[in-house]
Structure formats: structure tokens, C-alpha cells
Structure 1
Amino acid sequence: MSLFHQIALSCLPGIGSVLARNLLSYFGNEEEIFKAKSKQLSKVPGIGPKTKELILNHEVFRFAEDELKFIEKYKIRPYFLTDKDYPKRLKNCADAPVMLYFKGNADLNSTKIISIVGTRNATEYGKEICKSLIFDLKKHNPLIVSGLAYGIDFASHKEAHKLAIPSIGVLAHGLDRIYPAQHRSMAEKMLDCGGLLTEFMSGTIPDRENFPKRNRIIAGLCDVTIVVEASIKGGALITAELANSYNRDVFAFPGRINDEFSLGCNHLIKTNRANLITKAVDIEYIMGWSTEVDTSTITQLSLPINLSGDEEIIAKILSNKGSLAIDELSFLTGFQQSKLVHTVLGMEMQGILISLPGKVYKLV
């Protein structure tokens, strides 16, 4: 496939995941899109006259040429929506970015990926939560994701770095700059253990509207979103809402009822948008991370099994697909991973399915 044409497709104004998928489905690959005739483009749902003209006149090619030179010069790793290495969890989101740019050495498809978000005005209470939470989660070898912003974001990256836990900073601008500039030193350290990820091309500045877009990557990239401290409005609550819309598990630490930077967390808990947690062991329990099952001793039952409704859904999907990773199974069933983990655990105990390395499941 042509990286040049992939970048060009991502440059087209108004082309999001849905339209990109429509174009790719219709023409087969990104190169054929730019070879298409006007009549062919008119048949693609969602392609209006303005976008059609941009494709036909190749106006985005000069931007693609500049970006291709930039990523080659600075050894940036591009991920196009159809690439096999594109983050699987994010690909399952309907509004996943067409193109991602990554600099670093982390695995964006790690077994356990956790986003930690919160207020830019972190208190000592919030920073202490980050410190103890990340320390207790270290044994699970997680990948920590946040936004490299002031406050809870920076505290998360800082604690992860101290413990040699990889962390990803998701940016609201291109990889030719760091915002805020005061965090450049930490960003450079993260390249050795983690990395920087963005959907924005070089030259893109951190405009206000880019931050909600950034937040959907933070939410979609992960199994779990944890809100440490948050006011009643702000990016952390937007990220939590996005995670809920992607059917991901959301957790929040409660705080005092009159504390401005606990109002958001308390609201998420009160409205059942987040599980209440006070320490890492709560996450381990809800997500099933604290449970180890010896599948070598499990044998299939000889008697007919009466499956519950949820178990039947899982069994039918695995019967058709063969074997699936936990995040793919979560997407196809529509179950949150915490619910899914407990259900498949029961099915393992009954000998209906087995788990393979990498949290992959298949029927016995």
C-alpha cells in the first residue's frame, strides 16, 4: 500500500473514519481513490462536491509530500486505519482516526492498557493517588496512557517513568512540538520507555478544538479509563464519557463533597458512569486481573450445558470466529471487559472454553 496516498487521504478536510472506510471499501485501496473519476466518486455515500474536487485536483498531495519527508527524517512510525499494527482497541471505535503518528518504542496493542486522566489543577491528594495507584499496578506490566498536560496527566507520566513503566502521551498537535513546552524533558524521557502519539500532522498547533479529538484516542486506546481528580466540567469528564460510549470500563476516585476537583469524580460515580474505587485492588477485582485460572485441569463436560444468555452470545461468536482476543470479543459482544472477564471465567470453569496466551479465548 502507498503511505503517500494514505497520508493524502488523511489530509482531506472532513474525511473521518466513516467516510475513509466508505472510500476504501468502494475503491479497494487508498491509491485507487485518487485515480477515481468524478462519476465514481459521486457514487460514494457522504462524498460532497468540495471533497470530490480536492480528491480530483490532488490538492492535498503537497501536504502529504511534506509529511512523508518529516516522518522519514525523524523516524516516526505511521499507522493507517487498515494496517495490521494499528491499535486494535482504537480500530474498534467508529470514529477512530484514519492515520496515527507514533514516536517511541511501546506496544500499542499491549495486554493491559490503562488511561489515567484528571484535572490540570492536581492537588497533593490527587498526586498521591497517582503515585500509589501506578505503584500497585506495576505488577500487571501495564501501558499507561495520558495527555501530557499539567496536573494529573503529568503526575501519571512522571510516576510511570520512575517505575520504568511505559507510558504514552497522546498529543493535540503535531510531533514537531511539545505542549506545554515545560514538559519537553519528560516527553523526551518517555521516548525511551513509552512514546508520543497523535493523529495530527507536523505543523499542527494545539488549538482548543484538538483536545476533545485527542481525548477520544486516550479513551479508545485503552481497556480502562481512571479519573483521579476532576471538576464538574473539563477534558477528564469528556474522556470518561467517550470511554463509556466505546463500552470501556471507567473508574473514579471519590472525594470530599465540597472539593471542586472531586465534583467530577463524584458525579461520574453518582450517575453510574464510573465504578467507585479507592485503590488498585478494586480495579483488579472488577477487571478480573487478580484471578488466575489453571486451564490445564479444565476438561469439557460430557453432559449438555445450559448456557446463560451472555454465555450463549460468547459461545456463538467464538464458534464462528475460532479464537478471539479479549478486546475483540468485547467489541463483538458489546460487553464491558469487566463483565466479559467474569463471564468467560465461569465458562472456563465449566470447560466450555479455554484461555490462550495474550488473553485469547477459544471454545474447547
Structure 2
Amino acid sequence: MEKEELLAVLRLQATDKVGDIIAKKLIQTTGSAAQVFNENLKSLQKIDGIGLQLAKNLCDDTTKEKAIKEFEYIENTHTKYAYFLDKNYPQNLKNCVDAPIFLFYDGAINLENQKIISVVGTRNITNYGRDFCKELIKDLAIYNPVIVSGFAYGVDICAHKAAIENNLQTIACLAHGLDQIYPKTHKKYIKDVVKNGGFITEFWHDETPLRENFLKRNRVVAGISKATIIVESAEKGGSLVTADIANSYNRDVFALPGRATDVYSTGCNNLLKNHQAHVVTNAEDIINLLQWEHQKNAKPHQTALFVNLNNQEQKIYDYLLKNGKQLLDVIAFECEIPVYQLSSILLQMELKNVIKPLPGKMFEV
């Protein structure tokens, strides 16, 4: 993206009362984000849904100063990003009218895989919920799904950890900037999440985890996925908001039933009682409804949009892409890498979801 356009997108984000829906309308009407700020006050007012106050906000030069500061941070830190009109923007989110116009991300995220599910729930997870969450993701692992959650206490972090334990890609949707981490006790999981997927957020680098940000974040959790699974929830909670949003996007919602007397099953039971979710008691419920059975073990080559490979990894990837599955010793010989080094490199590439191991010490893209 050219500097002028990137600055304009950031400026739209910084403009008071200009949300993602209005921003998209402005971009589509004028032709680009940069052109929005080339329009005068009178012409902006003529755009459907833009009144005098919004037009004045768009002409406020202080937003340019804010955008420049964020732009400099992006440039200096080489922050990765995805614009809603670009190919690297998550396809599922593109279909959501209120999806963020701009996302920042870190890690080796590959959203070409369409078996993307969100697993969310209470921060006060019980043994019942924890055991179910871990077993569910373990049983789904053969289908190679991407596990999305919010990196919070309870169900969220349980889902991320279960994905990592089963060598699945996991994506943490944050309610703050990439320069922050919340909760701080989860800093110890950052490295593993980045290796097995990564972090994604719509918020600028120094944005703190404000209460309203979590509600905004929930639409990304719901929209980026094909289905949302509520493991446990009290009568009220953020995961129920995520379920409502997923339903509004016409995505499948699943809920784990529990005893009527269990506080953290009340929300799930209500979703089921009101026909707002499908019952999920095991992996088969998800597999059948999402029609994954015919895709079993299917892990086709896909363009790894967000994956960064070092020189040795790229050499191995190119060799396997050209020659198909190969023995470990053959790869070592052809790529001129000692076997003891190659094993470690292949493991890292496997965690990045760019290659997969086969029986007999063979590997393929």
C-alpha cells in the first residue's frame, strides 16, 4: 500500500464518529481513502449518511498528525497489516458489513484454510468446560482447523493451548494494540502463539484494553470464523455477545449444554433453549454440521499469506514444492543441510503450517 493511502486509512480510523461502515462508504464513494481527504466540506456533506458534523470531523487536521505518528510506528517496527480491499484480508471478515477496514497482525497466520472456528466462553472455566474444550480440539485436530479465540482467561486460553498442543494454527484476537498484552500473566504464551499462528487486532499499537474494545473485538472473533463454539457461559457474558454477532452474520453457533444448576452453563443452556445455537457434546456434532467429513486429512497446498520464512526454510519449501514429498535424508542432501539441523528446521516449518510430516520420515508441502 502506498504511503498516502496508508496514511489516509489511518486518518479515517482516527476520525471521531467515523466507524468502519461509514469509512467503507466514504472509500467506495470517492474511490480511495486518500481521495476522501481531497474532498471539500461541501462535497463530503453530499455523500449519503455524511452530515455537517461528520464532514467537519473529516476536515480536522489533528487526525493527520495522529495518523503520521501511527504510520511512523508501523514503518519503524515493520508491523504487518491487512486492508479490507486487499487479498490478504481475511475472506470471512470481508463478508461482514461492520468488519474493520484495517487489521494489524503478528505471527505466521494463514487464513486460506476455511476450516476456521472460534472457541470462546467464560473466564471462570470449570473442570467440565476445560476437559470438554481440550478433548474437542484434540478430536478435531485430524481436520486441521484454525482455532480462534480472544486470549483471555478461562476458555480462551484453554482453546489456544489445546490448539498448540495438537499442532494446530491458533489466532488470538486482541482488544488492544500489538504493543500491549492483556492479561499480563499470559505473556508466557506469546511465543507459542506466534509460532503456531499469531495475534490480530484492529487497534493501534498503544491502544489499551478498554471495556468497549472487548465488545468491538468480539465481532472479529465471530466474523473471522465459519462457526463459533460457546463452551461455558454465565447468564450474561462477552461470549454470548459473540454468539449474537455470529448469528447476525449467519454463522453457525454451537453451545455445550450443562446442568440447570450450574452457573456457568446457564448462558449455553439459554442459547439452546432459545434455538440460538446447536447442541455440541463432541467433535462429531461440529464435523457433521459443517460437513468436514469429506475433507478428512485434506491439507492441500495453500498460499501462506502471512508466513515469514528464513533463507533455509525458503530453500526447503521451494525444493518440496517443486519435487513433491521427499525423504528426510534426501532433503538434507539436496538442500545441503546437515540432518541434525534439518530436523529442527522442519519442525519449525511444520508449526508454521507450511509443510506436513508423513510416515517413513517423509515430508511434503
Q: Which bracket does the TM-score occupy, shorter chain normalised?
A: 0.7 to 0.9
Structure 1 pair 185–74 and aligned structure 2 pair: CA distance change class (3 A): farther
Distance 2:94 2:61 in 1: 27
**Alpha-carbon distance in 1 for matches of 2:160, 2:65:** 36
Letter aligned with residue 77 of structure 1: K
Instruction: Name structure 1 gaps, 5 residues minimum.
Output: 294-364
The superposition leaves residues 223-252 of structure 1 with CA deviations (integer Å, 9 ceiling, x where unpaired) of: 010011111100011101110000000111
Tell me if 1:173 matches 2:164.
no
The answer to whether 1:125 aligns with 2:141 is no
Look up the match of 1:85: 88
The structure whose RCO (Cα within 8 Å, separation 6+) is larger is 2
Whether the aligned pair in 2 keeps the contact of 1:34 and 1:58 (CA below 8 Å) is: no
Q: Residue 10 of structure 2 aligns to which amino acid in structure 1?
A: I
CA distance in 2: counterparts of 1:46 and 1:12, whole angstroms: 15
Q: For the residues of structure 1 that align with 2:73 and 2:195, how far apart are their CA atoms?
A: 20
Q: What is the aligned partner in structure 1 of residue 363 from structure 2?
A: none
TM-score normalised to the size of structure 1?
0.78
Asked if residue 5 in structure 1 is aligned to residue 13 in structure 2, the reply is no
Q: Does 1:215 align with 2:230?
A: no
Corresponding residue of 1:56:
59
The aligned counterpart of 1:191 is 194
Alpha-carbon spacing, 1:193–1:282, altered in 2? closer, same or farther (3 Å): same
- Cα distance in 2 for partners of 1:166, 1:82 equals 24
Match of 2:228 in 1: 225
Contact 2:20-2:98 within 8 A present in 1 as well? yes
1:97 aligned partner, one-letter code = P
Distance in 1 between the 2:76 and 2:164 partners? Answer: 27
- 2:154 aligns to what? 151
Alpha-carbon distance in structure 2 between the residues aligned to 1:250 and 1:235: 14
What amino acid maps onto 1:169 in structure 2?
Answer: A
Code of the residue aligned with 2:221 in structure 1: it is: I
Show the counterpart of 1:104: 107
CA distance in 1, matches of 2:191, 2:79: 14
Local SS of the residue matching 2:59: helix
8 Å CA contact retained: 1:143, 1:165: yes
Q: Secondary structure at the match of 2:50?
A: coil
Q: Bigger shift: 283-292 or 127-136?
A: 283-292
Alpha-carbon distance between aligned partners in 1 of 2:193 and 2:53, rounded to the nearest angstrom: 41
Within the candidate set 25, 29, 32, 1:29 is matched to 32
- Within 2, Cα distance between the matches of 1:125 and 1:45? 51
1:7 deviates by 1.4
How far is 1:72 from its partner? 2.6
Q: 1:174·1:205 contact (CA, 8 Å) conserved in 2? A: yes
CA distance in 2, matches of 1:46, 1:60: 20
Query: Does residue 16 of the first structure (1) align with residue 19 of the second (2)?
Result: yes
SS state at 2:294 partner: coil
Question: 8 Å contact 1:173–1:205 — kept in the other structure?
Answer: yes
CA contact (8 A) 1:227 1:252 kept: yes
User: Cα RMSD (Å) of the superposition?
Assistant: 1.5
C-alpha spacing 1:292/1:143, structure 2 compared with 1 (3 Å)? closer
One-letter amino acid of the structure 1 residue matched with residue 273 of structure 2: K
The aligned residue for residue 348 of structure 1 is none
Partner of 1:66: 69
1:75·1:103 contact (CA, 8 Å) conserved in 2?
A: no
Unaligned runs of 5+ in 2: 297-365
Write out per-residue CA displacement over residues 106-132 of structure 1, whole angstroms, 9 at most, x where no aligned residue. 113422101000000001111111111
Distance 2:202 2:76 in 1: 18
Partners of 2:75 and 2:140 lie apart in 1 by 36
Letter in 2 for 1:41: L
| CA shift for structure 1 position 59 | 1.8
Report how many aligned residue pairs link the two structures.
293
Alpha-carbon distance in 2 for matches of 1:183, 1:74: 22
2:288 paired with 1:270: no
Tell me by how many angstroms 1:292 deviates: 5.7
State the 1:36 CA deviation: 0.9
Q: Bigger shift: 9-18 or 208-217?
A: 9-18
Report the TM-score when normalising by structure 2: 0.78
